[in-house]
Amino acid sequence: MTAPAVFKPSSALSKVGPSAISRMMAATAEMKRQGRDVIGLHVGEPDFNTPENILDAANRAMRNGETHYSALDGSPAVKAAVLEKFRRENGLNFTADEVVVTTGAKMMIFSAFMASIGPGDEVILPAPYWVSYSDIVEMMGATPVILPTKAEDGFVLKAADLEAAITPNTRWILINSPSNPTGTIYSAEDYAPLLDVLAENPHVWLMVDDMYEHLIFDPGTFVTPAQLRPDLRDRILTVNGVSKAYAMTGWRIGYGAGPLPLMKAIRAVVSQSTSCTCTIAQAAAVEALTGPQEAVSAYLAEYRSRRSLIMEELHTIPGLVCAAPAGTFYAFVDWRALVGSITPGGEVLADDETFCHYMLQEHGVAVVPGAAFGAAGYFRISFASDEQSLRQGMARIRLGCAALTR
Protein backbone atom coordinates (compact mmCIF):
# COMPACT_ATOMS: atom_id res chain seq x y z
CA MET A 1 0.00 0.00 0.00
CA THR A 2 1.34 3.38 -0.98
CA ALA A 3 2.05 5.65 1.95
CA PRO A 4 0.02 8.88 1.98
CA ALA A 5 1.80 11.93 0.68
CA VAL A 6 3.13 14.28 3.32
CA PHE A 7 3.41 17.94 2.45
CA LYS A 8 6.25 19.84 4.07
CA PRO A 9 5.84 23.61 3.87
CA SER A 10 8.89 25.78 3.33
CA SER A 11 10.65 27.36 6.27
CA ALA A 12 9.55 30.74 4.91
CA LEU A 13 5.98 29.86 5.89
CA SER A 14 6.77 28.51 9.34
CA LYS A 15 5.37 31.60 11.07
CA VAL A 16 3.00 32.82 8.37
CA GLY A 17 -0.57 31.90 7.46
CA PRO A 18 -3.61 33.59 5.95
CA SER A 19 -4.11 37.09 7.35
CA ALA A 20 -6.86 37.90 9.85
CA ILE A 21 -8.64 39.85 7.11
CA SER A 22 -8.49 36.86 4.77
CA ARG A 23 -9.83 34.58 7.51
CA MET A 24 -12.67 36.98 8.22
CA MET A 25 -13.46 37.21 4.50
CA ALA A 26 -13.58 33.42 4.27
CA ALA A 27 -15.80 33.07 7.35
CA THR A 28 -18.16 35.77 6.08
CA ALA A 29 -18.37 34.21 2.63
CA GLU A 30 -19.17 30.80 4.15
CA MET A 31 -21.95 32.27 6.29
CA LYS A 32 -23.43 33.98 3.26
CA ARG A 33 -23.18 30.74 1.30
CA GLN A 34 -25.24 29.14 4.04
CA GLY A 35 -27.88 31.79 3.56
CA ARG A 36 -27.12 33.77 6.72
CA ASP A 37 -27.49 37.53 6.79
CA VAL A 38 -24.08 39.16 7.28
CA ILE A 39 -23.04 42.80 7.08
CA GLY A 40 -19.39 43.02 6.06
CA LEU A 41 -17.50 45.94 7.62
CA HIS A 42 -14.18 44.16 7.32
CA VAL A 43 -13.03 44.59 3.71
CA GLY A 44 -10.66 47.42 2.82
CA GLU A 45 -12.03 47.91 -0.65
CA PRO A 46 -14.00 50.76 -2.23
CA ASP A 47 -17.57 49.71 -3.03
CA PHE A 48 -17.57 51.98 -6.09
CA ASN A 49 -17.06 50.73 -9.63
CA THR A 50 -13.96 51.83 -11.51
CA PRO A 51 -14.69 55.13 -13.34
CA GLU A 52 -15.94 54.88 -16.92
CA ASN A 53 -13.02 56.75 -18.47
CA ILE A 54 -10.64 54.17 -17.00
CA LEU A 55 -12.76 51.30 -18.28
CA ASP A 56 -12.78 52.92 -21.72
CA ALA A 57 -8.99 53.18 -21.69
CA ALA A 58 -8.68 49.48 -20.87
CA ASN A 59 -11.10 48.63 -23.67
CA ARG A 60 -9.12 50.71 -26.15
CA ALA A 61 -5.92 49.00 -25.07
CA MET A 62 -7.43 45.58 -25.75
CA ARG A 63 -8.79 46.65 -29.13
CA ASN A 64 -5.43 48.17 -30.05
CA GLY A 65 -3.60 44.94 -29.35
CA GLU A 66 -1.93 46.00 -26.09
CA THR A 67 -2.20 42.42 -24.87
CA HIS A 68 1.42 41.36 -25.11
CA TYR A 69 4.25 41.53 -22.61
CA SER A 70 5.52 44.95 -21.66
CA ALA A 71 8.87 45.73 -20.08
CA LEU A 72 8.94 43.81 -16.81
CA ASP A 73 9.02 47.01 -14.73
CA GLY A 74 6.16 48.73 -16.58
CA SER A 75 5.41 50.06 -20.03
CA PRO A 76 6.93 53.41 -21.04
CA ALA A 77 3.44 54.95 -20.90
CA VAL A 78 2.62 53.84 -17.35
CA LYS A 79 6.06 54.77 -16.07
CA ALA A 80 5.70 58.21 -17.65
CA ALA A 81 2.32 58.57 -15.91
CA VAL A 82 3.87 57.63 -12.56
CA LEU A 83 6.73 60.07 -13.07
CA GLU A 84 4.26 62.85 -13.89
CA LYS A 85 2.13 61.98 -10.85
CA PHE A 86 5.14 62.31 -8.54
CA ARG A 87 6.14 65.61 -10.17
CA ARG A 88 2.63 67.10 -10.18
CA GLU A 89 1.38 65.98 -6.79
CA ASN A 90 4.51 65.57 -4.69
CA GLY A 91 7.12 67.85 -6.25
CA LEU A 92 9.41 64.84 -6.76
CA ASN A 93 11.48 64.26 -9.87
CA PHE A 94 12.52 60.68 -10.56
CA THR A 95 14.00 59.06 -13.64
CA ALA A 96 12.33 56.14 -15.38
CA ASP A 97 15.02 53.79 -14.02
CA GLU A 98 14.05 54.79 -10.48
CA VAL A 99 10.45 53.57 -10.93
CA VAL A 100 9.10 50.01 -10.99
CA VAL A 101 5.43 49.10 -11.57
CA THR A 102 4.28 45.91 -9.85
CA THR A 103 1.25 43.66 -9.54
CA GLY A 104 -0.22 45.66 -6.68
CA ALA A 105 1.58 47.72 -4.03
CA LYS A 106 1.91 44.64 -1.83
CA MET A 107 4.15 43.12 -4.49
CA MET A 108 6.32 46.22 -4.41
CA ILE A 109 6.73 45.87 -0.64
CA PHE A 110 7.35 42.14 -0.94
CA SER A 111 9.89 42.63 -3.73
CA ALA A 112 11.74 45.38 -1.87
CA PHE A 113 12.11 43.19 1.20
CA MET A 114 13.02 40.15 -0.90
CA ALA A 115 15.72 42.26 -2.53
CA SER A 116 17.18 43.68 0.65
CA ILE A 117 16.70 41.63 3.85
CA GLY A 118 17.29 38.16 5.22
CA PRO A 119 18.04 36.27 8.43
CA GLY A 120 19.52 38.49 11.12
CA ASP A 121 18.06 41.69 9.70
CA GLU A 122 15.44 43.77 11.50
CA VAL A 123 12.58 45.92 10.20
CA ILE A 124 10.92 48.46 12.49
CA LEU A 125 7.12 48.57 12.24
CA PRO A 126 5.17 51.20 14.18
CA ALA A 127 2.01 49.57 15.51
CA PRO A 128 -0.81 49.53 14.58
CA TYR A 129 0.42 48.42 11.16
CA TRP A 130 -1.16 46.82 8.09
CA VAL A 131 -1.44 43.10 8.73
CA SER A 132 0.83 41.94 5.89
CA TYR A 133 3.90 43.94 6.85
CA SER A 134 5.12 41.70 9.65
CA ASP A 135 4.32 38.50 7.78
CA ILE A 136 6.29 39.59 4.72
CA VAL A 137 9.29 40.45 6.90
CA GLU A 138 9.11 37.05 8.58
CA MET A 139 8.84 35.28 5.23
CA MET A 140 12.26 36.73 4.40
CA GLY A 141 13.68 35.24 7.60
CA ALA A 142 14.10 38.71 9.09
CA THR A 143 12.69 40.02 12.38
CA PRO A 144 9.86 42.54 12.63
CA VAL A 145 10.51 44.93 15.51
CA ILE A 146 7.14 46.20 16.68
CA LEU A 147 7.03 49.71 18.18
CA PRO A 148 3.64 50.41 19.79
CA THR A 149 2.25 53.92 19.38
CA LYS A 150 -0.36 55.53 21.61
CA ALA A 151 -3.88 56.71 20.88
CA GLU A 152 -3.20 59.84 22.93
CA ASP A 153 -0.34 60.65 20.53
CA GLY A 154 -2.60 60.09 17.54
CA PHE A 155 -0.79 56.78 16.86
CA VAL A 156 2.25 58.72 15.62
CA LEU A 157 5.68 57.19 16.24
CA LYS A 158 7.95 59.27 18.44
CA ALA A 159 11.58 59.89 17.57
CA ALA A 160 12.88 58.75 20.96
CA ASP A 161 11.17 55.38 20.55
CA LEU A 162 12.56 54.99 17.06
CA GLU A 163 16.08 55.88 18.14
CA ALA A 164 15.94 53.40 21.03
CA ALA A 165 14.80 50.60 18.73
CA ILE A 166 17.55 50.96 16.13
CA THR A 167 20.33 48.38 16.32
CA PRO A 168 23.22 47.50 14.02
CA ASN A 169 20.85 44.93 12.45
CA THR A 170 18.12 47.43 11.57
CA ARG A 171 17.66 47.65 7.82
CA TRP A 172 14.32 49.39 7.35
CA ILE A 173 11.56 51.32 9.05
CA LEU A 174 8.16 51.14 7.33
CA ILE A 175 5.57 53.91 7.80
CA ASN A 176 2.06 53.94 6.32
CA SER A 177 0.44 57.37 6.09
CA PRO A 178 -2.51 57.74 5.97
CA SER A 179 -2.56 54.61 8.06
CA ASN A 180 -4.46 51.40 7.68
CA PRO A 181 -5.98 50.78 10.25
CA THR A 182 -5.97 54.03 12.27
CA GLY A 183 -6.40 56.72 9.62
CA THR A 184 -3.42 58.57 11.16
CA ILE A 185 -1.62 61.03 8.89
CA TYR A 186 2.02 61.97 9.52
CA SER A 187 2.45 65.70 9.08
CA ALA A 188 5.71 67.39 8.14
CA GLU A 189 6.14 68.14 11.84
CA ASP A 190 5.61 64.48 12.72
CA TYR A 191 8.09 63.29 10.13
CA ALA A 192 10.83 65.84 10.87
CA PRO A 193 12.28 64.33 14.08
CA LEU A 194 11.99 60.81 12.67
CA LEU A 195 13.93 61.84 9.58
CA ASP A 196 16.57 63.41 11.82
CA VAL A 197 17.00 60.01 13.50
CA LEU A 198 17.22 58.39 10.06
CA ALA A 199 19.91 60.87 9.04
CA GLU A 200 21.98 59.85 12.07
CA ASN A 201 21.76 56.15 11.17
CA PRO A 202 23.01 55.73 7.60
CA HIS A 203 22.52 51.95 7.65
CA VAL A 204 18.74 52.35 8.06
CA TRP A 205 16.39 52.87 5.10
CA LEU A 206 12.82 54.17 5.09
CA MET A 207 9.91 52.64 3.21
CA VAL A 208 6.73 54.73 3.06
CA ASP A 209 3.39 53.27 2.00
CA ASP A 210 1.34 56.18 0.62
CA MET A 211 -1.52 54.07 -0.76
CA TYR A 212 -4.23 56.22 0.87
CA GLU A 213 -2.68 59.53 -0.18
CA HIS A 214 -5.89 60.82 -1.79
CA LEU A 215 -8.24 59.71 0.98
CA ILE A 216 -7.63 62.60 3.35
CA PHE A 217 -10.43 64.56 4.99
CA ASP A 218 -8.46 67.76 5.65
CA PRO A 219 -7.02 68.95 2.32
CA GLY A 220 -3.40 69.94 2.13
CA THR A 221 -2.15 67.79 5.00
CA PHE A 222 -0.36 65.07 3.01
CA VAL A 223 3.42 64.99 2.68
CA THR A 224 5.79 62.19 1.81
CA PRO A 225 9.30 62.04 3.32
CA ALA A 226 11.26 62.31 0.07
CA GLN A 227 9.74 65.78 -0.31
CA LEU A 228 10.94 66.86 3.12
CA ARG A 229 14.51 65.55 3.09
CA PRO A 230 16.04 65.40 -0.40
CA ASP A 231 19.35 64.56 1.28
CA LEU A 232 17.84 61.21 2.36
CA ARG A 233 16.32 60.23 -0.98
CA ASP A 234 19.04 57.65 -1.58
CA ARG A 235 17.58 55.70 1.37
CA ILE A 236 13.83 56.18 0.82
CA LEU A 237 11.43 53.95 -1.12
CA THR A 238 8.06 55.57 -1.83
CA VAL A 239 5.27 53.05 -2.48
CA ASN A 240 1.85 53.86 -3.93
CA GLY A 241 -0.79 52.54 -6.33
CA VAL A 242 -4.16 53.12 -7.93
CA SER A 243 -6.25 50.63 -5.95
CA LYS A 244 -7.90 52.76 -3.29
CA ALA A 245 -8.21 56.25 -4.79
CA TYR A 246 -9.57 55.06 -8.15
CA ALA A 247 -11.57 52.02 -6.99
CA MET A 248 -9.21 49.74 -8.90
CA THR A 249 -8.36 47.04 -6.35
CA GLY A 250 -8.85 44.18 -8.80
CA TRP A 251 -6.66 45.74 -11.48
CA ARG A 252 -3.56 45.10 -9.32
CA ILE A 253 -1.33 48.04 -10.14
CA GLY A 254 1.16 49.36 -7.62
CA TYR A 255 4.42 51.20 -8.04
CA GLY A 256 7.47 52.38 -6.19
CA ALA A 257 10.18 54.97 -6.68
CA GLY A 258 13.56 54.94 -5.03
CA PRO A 259 17.33 54.87 -5.45
CA LEU A 260 18.65 53.10 -8.51
CA PRO A 261 20.56 50.25 -6.76
CA LEU A 262 17.41 49.23 -4.87
CA MET A 263 15.15 49.48 -7.91
CA LYS A 264 17.61 47.39 -9.93
CA ALA A 265 17.41 44.68 -7.26
CA ILE A 266 13.61 44.89 -7.23
CA ARG A 267 13.58 44.40 -11.00
CA ALA A 268 15.51 41.18 -10.51
CA VAL A 269 12.86 39.93 -8.06
CA VAL A 270 10.05 40.90 -10.42
CA SER A 271 11.75 39.26 -13.38
CA GLN A 272 11.83 35.92 -11.54
CA SER A 273 8.34 36.13 -10.04
CA THR A 274 5.51 37.96 -11.79
CA SER A 275 7.31 39.44 -14.79
CA CYS A 276 5.34 42.44 -16.05
CA THR A 277 1.95 43.41 -14.69
CA CYS A 278 -1.16 42.98 -16.84
CA THR A 279 -0.71 45.33 -19.81
CA ILE A 280 -4.44 46.10 -19.98
CA ALA A 281 -4.37 47.14 -16.33
CA GLN A 282 -1.30 49.26 -17.04
CA ALA A 283 -3.22 51.14 -19.74
CA ALA A 284 -6.07 51.67 -17.27
CA ALA A 285 -3.60 53.01 -14.71
CA VAL A 286 -2.26 55.53 -17.23
CA GLU A 287 -5.77 56.94 -17.61
CA ALA A 288 -6.31 56.91 -13.85
CA LEU A 289 -3.16 58.91 -13.18
CA THR A 290 -3.37 61.31 -16.12
CA GLY A 291 -7.09 61.58 -16.86
CA PRO A 292 -9.94 63.45 -15.12
CA GLN A 293 -9.79 63.31 -11.33
CA GLU A 294 -13.40 64.21 -10.51
CA ALA A 295 -14.22 60.65 -9.43
CA VAL A 296 -11.55 60.78 -6.73
CA SER A 297 -13.11 63.92 -5.26
CA ALA A 298 -16.58 62.38 -5.43
CA TYR A 299 -15.45 59.23 -3.64
CA LEU A 300 -13.75 61.29 -0.94
CA ALA A 301 -16.92 63.31 -0.34
CA GLU A 302 -18.86 60.08 0.11
CA TYR A 303 -16.27 58.67 2.51
CA ARG A 304 -16.44 61.90 4.52
CA SER A 305 -20.19 61.48 4.88
CA ARG A 306 -19.78 57.85 5.89
CA ARG A 307 -17.11 58.76 8.43
CA SER A 308 -19.56 61.16 10.06
CA LEU A 309 -22.19 58.44 10.22
CA ILE A 310 -19.81 55.93 11.79
CA MET A 311 -18.46 58.38 14.35
CA GLU A 312 -21.93 59.51 15.39
CA GLU A 313 -22.91 55.90 15.98
CA LEU A 314 -19.73 54.94 17.83
CA HIS A 315 -19.99 57.87 20.22
CA THR A 316 -23.32 56.55 21.48
CA ILE A 317 -22.25 52.95 22.15
CA PRO A 318 -21.10 52.48 25.77
CA GLY A 319 -17.74 50.76 26.05
CA LEU A 320 -16.42 51.81 22.65
CA VAL A 321 -13.99 54.68 22.05
CA CYS A 322 -12.74 55.96 18.71
CA ALA A 323 -11.12 59.15 17.45
CA ALA A 324 -12.22 60.35 14.03
CA PRO A 325 -9.74 59.09 11.40
CA ALA A 326 -7.93 61.85 9.51
CA GLY A 327 -7.78 59.74 6.35
CA THR A 328 -8.55 56.34 4.76
CA PHE A 329 -11.94 54.65 5.14
CA TYR A 330 -11.26 52.90 8.45
CA ALA A 331 -12.20 53.48 12.06
CA PHE A 332 -9.98 51.81 14.68
CA VAL A 333 -12.20 51.22 17.68
CA ASP A 334 -11.01 50.76 21.29
CA TRP A 335 -13.18 48.11 23.02
CA ARG A 336 -10.89 47.55 26.03
CA ALA A 337 -13.60 48.68 28.46
CA LEU A 338 -15.56 45.59 27.42
CA VAL A 339 -12.73 43.04 27.69
CA GLY A 340 -13.81 40.26 30.01
CA SER A 341 -17.48 40.77 29.32
CA ILE A 342 -19.73 37.73 29.06
CA THR A 343 -21.99 37.00 26.11
CA PRO A 344 -25.59 35.80 26.54
CA GLY A 345 -24.28 32.35 25.68
CA GLY A 346 -21.78 32.44 28.55
CA GLU A 347 -18.60 33.04 26.56
CA VAL A 348 -16.00 35.35 28.08
CA LEU A 349 -14.71 37.91 25.58
CA ALA A 350 -11.07 37.71 26.56
CA ASP A 351 -9.45 39.04 23.40
CA ASP A 352 -10.08 40.61 19.99
CA GLU A 353 -10.58 37.27 18.26
CA THR A 354 -13.38 36.23 20.61
CA PHE A 355 -15.02 39.66 20.38
CA CYS A 356 -15.00 39.68 16.56
CA HIS A 357 -16.14 36.05 16.44
CA TYR A 358 -19.05 36.92 18.75
CA MET A 359 -20.06 39.88 16.57
CA LEU A 360 -19.93 37.74 13.44
CA GLN A 361 -21.61 34.59 14.66
CA GLU A 362 -24.20 36.06 17.02
CA HIS A 363 -24.96 39.41 15.39
CA GLY A 364 -24.00 38.97 11.76
CA VAL A 365 -21.49 41.81 11.44
CA ALA A 366 -17.87 41.29 10.34
CA VAL A 367 -15.05 43.44 11.71
CA VAL A 368 -11.31 42.75 12.03
CA PRO A 369 -9.48 42.14 15.34
CA GLY A 370 -6.96 44.80 16.30
CA ALA A 371 -4.39 42.24 17.40
CA ALA A 372 -3.87 41.42 13.72
CA PHE A 373 -2.60 44.98 13.31
CA GLY A 374 -0.30 44.69 16.33
CA ALA A 375 -2.72 46.51 18.67
CA ALA A 376 -4.76 44.28 20.98
CA GLY A 377 -7.92 45.77 22.48
CA TYR A 378 -9.15 47.30 19.22
CA PHE A 379 -11.11 46.28 16.15
CA ARG A 380 -11.22 47.82 12.69
CA ILE A 381 -14.35 48.94 10.88
CA SER A 382 -14.25 49.69 7.16
CA PHE A 383 -16.71 52.35 6.06
CA ALA A 384 -16.15 51.61 2.37
CA SER A 385 -19.76 50.40 2.19
CA ASP A 386 -23.09 52.01 1.36
CA GLU A 387 -25.01 53.97 3.99
CA GLN A 388 -27.66 51.31 4.53
CA SER A 389 -25.06 48.63 5.23
CA LEU A 390 -23.20 50.94 7.59
CA ARG A 391 -26.33 51.79 9.55
CA GLN A 392 -27.33 48.14 9.80
CA GLY A 393 -23.82 47.08 10.77
CA MET A 394 -23.54 49.71 13.48
CA ALA A 395 -26.99 48.76 14.82
CA ARG A 396 -25.76 45.18 15.15
CA ILE A 397 -22.58 46.26 16.94
CA ARG A 398 -24.70 48.36 19.29
CA LEU A 399 -26.98 45.39 20.00
CA GLY A 400 -24.01 43.07 20.51
CA CYS A 401 -22.35 45.39 23.00
CA ALA A 402 -25.62 46.02 24.88
CA ALA A 403 -26.15 42.28 25.32
CA LEU A 404 -22.87 41.84 27.21
CA THR A 405 -22.63 41.56 30.99
CA ARG A 406 -19.67 41.93 33.31
pLDDT tens digits for 211-246? 999 999 987 779 999 999 999 999 999 999 999 999
Please name the helix (run of DSSP H) or strand (run of DSSP E) that holds residue 179, with its range, or none. Answer: none
Residue 9 vs residues 16, 17, 172: alpha-carbon distances, Å:
11, 11, 27
Longest dimension (CA), the chain: 70
For residue 64, the SS3 value is coil
Q: How many CB atoms lie within 10 A of CB 351?
A: 16
Strands 122-127 and 170-176: parallel
CB 332 within 8 Å of CB 183:
yes
Give the angle 185-259-189 at the CA atoms, nearest 5°.
Answer: 25
Domains observed in the chain: 17-49+295-402 (3.90.1150.10), 52-290 (3.40.640.10)
The candidate with the shortest Cα–Cα distance to 215, out of 387, 393, 21, 383, is: 383
> Is residue 261 left, alpha or beta, with left meaning phi > 0 and alpha meaning psi from -120 to 50?
alpha
Strands 330-334 and 378-382: antiparallel
The candidate with the shortest Cα–Cα distance to 289, out of 85, 53, 79, is: 85
One digit per residue, the tens of pLDDT, for the chain of length 406 reads 678 888 888 888 877 776 667 777 787 788 788 888 899 999 889 999 999 999 999 999 999 999 999 999 999 999 999 999 999 999 999 999 999 999 999 999 999 999 999 999 999 999 999 999 999 999 999 999 999 999 999 999 999 999 999 999 999 999 999 999 999 999 999 999 999 999 999 999 999 999 999 999 987 779 999 999 999 999 999 999 999 999 999 999 999 999 999 999 999 999 999 999 999 999 999 999 999 999 999 999 999 999 999 999 999 999 999 999 999 999 999 999 999 999 999 999 999 999 999 999 999 999 999 999 999 999 999 999 999 999 999 999 999 999 999 8
Tens digit of each residue's pLDDT (9 = 90 or more) over 73-122:
999 999 999 999 999 999 999 999 999 999 999 999 999 999 999 999 99
**Rounded Cα distance, 22 and 131, in Å:** 10
The candidate with the shortest Cα–Cα distance to 281, out of 106, 109, 101, is: 101
